[in-house]
Amino acid sequence: MFKRLCLLVLLVVTPFVAAQELRTGLVLSGGGARGLAHIGVLKELEARNIPIHAIAGTSMGAVIGGLYAAGYSAAEIEQIALELDWQTTLGDDPLREDIPFRRKQDDRDFLVKHRLSFDRGRLNLPLGLLQGQNLGLVLETLLVHTNDIDDFDRLPIPFRAVATNIATGEAVIFNQGHLPLAIRASIALPGFFAPVKVDGQLLVDGVLVKNVPVDVARAMGVDRLIVVDIGTPLKSAEQLNSLIDVMDQTTTLLTRTNTQEQLDTLGPEDLLIQPELSAMGFSSFDEAAFAIQAGSASLADRPELQAFAAGHPRTEETANPRDIRPSRQPVIHAIRIENSGKVADQVVRSMIRQPLNEPLNLDRLETDMGTIYGTDYFSRVNYEIVHGEQINTLLVRTSGRETGTDYLRLGLSLADDFNGGSQFNIGASFRVNGVNPLGAEWLSRLQIGQHQIFYSEFYQPLDYGSRYFVAPFVDAEARNVEVILDNDPVADYRQTRYGAGFNLGRQIANNGEIRFGISRYTGEADVRVGDPALPSFGFEEAFYTLQLDRDTLDNVNFPRAGDEARLIWRQSDPDLGADERYQQLELRANKVLASGPNSFQFGGSLGRTDGEVGVAQSSFLLGGPGQFSGFRQNSLAGQNYNLARLLYYRRLNPGNFVPVGLPVYLGASFEYGRVYNKEDDGFDTGYMAAGSLMLGLDTVLGPLFFGLGANEEGERALYMKLGQTF
């Protein structure tokens, strides 16, 4: 009787115990922005008290799964996804305020965003549209607390990430190593992101071999699986309208076979979840909330989920562990540089402001990473915290650009008033980076058109921090200058000058620089249009120059924050070889504020000329949209001017999260000022108001404006302006 009773108890209890001991694995597929649906699935699993014992993910599934395995809750991951600036994260460019001042000037002078890389004179093309620099830094920051974990089985939830060896076509399963790097390799979509080098292997997105890594999760020793397959429907021919669409379609075609092979291995104990995401694209990160909701909705009316639920209530102790994410960052005792670039390790070290024996400052470190990457010496910059027995070391790795660090950039400017007045200039710059370990550069600029420029400068830092520098240069230009007397044009001069000089300067953080220089020029001014009897003349100039620049704008074309200022003072001195003694001062300042899609710029500028010098030799050029609208571009030439300006513009289309976006803006300007010469009987516009209405596009060739300008002088003009002159 006793034996029968024990047997009965055993038969009743055993299934219950076995059910409690079943281990559940979670499989998360790739899918780009569609993969954010994984977050909604995780939220529902937590709400239904379903424990997860292992996670295997590919691409975006590796991102979401890796964060969850590292101790983030579903709600925390949702907050990250909704608040993250995806446009910046999926780009390579650091925040503009973080990059060195010289790189900011490149943006202003040569507005074509893309550049060509050269190595020893040979053109090299990148292995992807993007290097994934910003994405890598975001992962490093979010997962900094896992830096002392090499074995992914030691994470709060054991984890695997899947990548593809692009050389062999074989799957690479990450079960150990540096977690952010493993995830970064798993999401390296070919063509979009450059391959990631790990242990001598070139790795790309795991979707090519195991988009739904069912077998990887099963090998982790689980008893059953919850599989989330995002899937991406094929687009019709009419829906393939961009490079991104074609890349998305190609990836979908490549993954369909391996996805189905993995799904065919599912058994009756497994659960397949396929969220309904309709036609959401893989780059539609602006639809993050929709994707998350779709993930949550996919678990509605799924009674089979009850079998996966834990038999005990979910508590803080049994929830997804978060104890390895300390409230404060580790104390940094040492900093080590692993540098494969052209410049010395000390140059990299000088840009890292983390104090020793103090807690890690992640905000400052992110800024420093942007500064280092912004030098254009490196293809990738990342960091890792190496935990020793008694010391924590901040390890900064920099990878030299395999495509070379010599850059060709193109510039274009076109202005037309649709009334016969047009200006066209095309330019190029070639910059040789890393000439020596201190980071010397040789920059040459050439512009042809109505305003011709040639400028070549050798920039030599005097210390590893690039604080002080010397910069010898040669300079030549030719431009048209209209001479006006009694407010009537009398001649159009072609002014040419060429010379050389030497600057000594200091960099002011990343925001500006100050220069003092000496230069010598020879020039001439010839009558191009007007009375041939008017004199042509030559001149000799030699200057002392002081120049102070500041630039904290977040965008050079359509900024939303920051300010800019430039002060230039120069004196032509006979003691240096000049014909005449005269001084010129020019000051420009601009402040930007934004609210929602609206941006406001408040600015002003002035120019002064003091001394006996010819108008054609010493005039400032104004006219055109934003600079006395209604007049033709550069049609106002005066030795002195005052200008106050208010500019408003509003972005009409939402943010784009791919590198081929085309932002559109509607704007208006109001200007008030005066242009005049110093002679009593010379040119003087008097104070006048001007304004314009504009439609602007931020294109890959620079800003494109269409506008209508008018002023109190009765001048009216339609404008089309592409780019800007140097």
Give me 558's structure tokens: 């359509």
Indicate the residue type of 298: S
**Contact call for residues 478 and 451 (beta carbons, < 8 A):** yes
CA atoms within a 13 Å half-sphere pointing along the CA-CB vector of 652:
10
Integer-rounded Cα Rg, in Å, for the chain is: 31
Smallest CA-to-CA distance from 364 within 352, 346, 378, 381 is with 352
Sequence-distant (≥ 6) Cβ neighbours of residue 87 within 8 angstroms = 285, 655, 656, 657, 661
Q: Mean pLDDT per segment of 10 residues, for the chain of length 726 residues?
A: 44 44 90 92 92 95 96 94 88 86 77 65 67 89 89 95 93 94 92 86 90 94 93 64 64 77 89 88 85 92 83 51 57 93 90 93 91 88 88 91 77 64 77 88 88 92 90 92 62 85 94 95 81 75 95 90 95 89 95 93 94 81 86 83 94 62 86 85 84 85 81 82 56
Token pair of 62 as six digits: 């590796």
Q: Cα–Cα distance between 392 and 580 in angstroms, integer?
A: 64
Helix (H, G, I), strand (E, B) or coil at 482: strand
Encoded amino acid at 83, one letter: E
pTM of the prediction? 0.79
The structure tokens listed for 497 are: 């000058």
pLDDT value at residue 147: 86
Tokens of 454: 């040639």
Cβ(718)–Cβ(708) below 8 Å = yes
Q: Is 498 exposed, middle or buried (0-12, 13-18, 19+ CB in 10 A)?
A: middle
SS3 category, 47? helix
The number of helices, as runs of H, and strands, as runs of E, in the chain is 15, 35
| Helix (H/G/I), strand (E/B), else coil: 273 | strand
- Whether 237 contacts 248, CB under 8 Å: no
**179-186 helix and 133-142 helix, angle to the nearest 10 degrees:** 140
Among 507, 417, 492, residue whose Cα is nearest residue 462? 507
Query: What SS3 class is residue 561?
Result: coil
Amino acid identity for residue 413 in this structure: S
Spell out the residues 6+ positions from residue 146 whose beta carbon is closer than 8 angstroms to its own: 70, 155, 179, 324
Q: What are the backbone dihedrals phi and psi of residue 99, each rounded to the nearest 5 degrees, phi first? A: -85, 155
Q: Which residues make Cβ contacts (< 8 Å) with residue 508, sequence separation at least 6?
A: 101, 514, 550
Report which of 147, 152, 313 is spatially closest to residue 217, judged by C-alpha positions.
152
The torsion defined by the Cα of 192, 193, 195 and 198, in degrees rounded to 10, comes to -150
CA distances from 172 to 163, 216, 653 (A): 5, 11, 40
Measured in degrees and rounded to the nearest 5, phi and psi for residue 365 equal -65, -40
Q: Which two tokens stand for residue 228?
A: 């989330």
Alpha-carbon gap, residue 680 to 677, rounded angstroms: 8
Q: CA-to-CA distance for 35 and 277, rounded, in angstroms?
A: 10
DSSP notation for 528-590:
EEE-TTSPPEEEEEEEEEEEEEEE--S-SSS-SSEEEEEEEEEEE-GGGT-SS-EEEEEEEEE
Q: What is the pLDDT of residue 326?
A: 53
Q: How far is CA 333 from CA 327, 368, 369, 390, 569, in A?
A: 19, 18, 19, 9, 46
How far apart are the C-alpha atoms of 503 and 422, rounded to whole Å?
35
Where do runs of H (alpha helix) occur along 159-305? 179-186, 207-210, 214-218, 243-263, 288-297
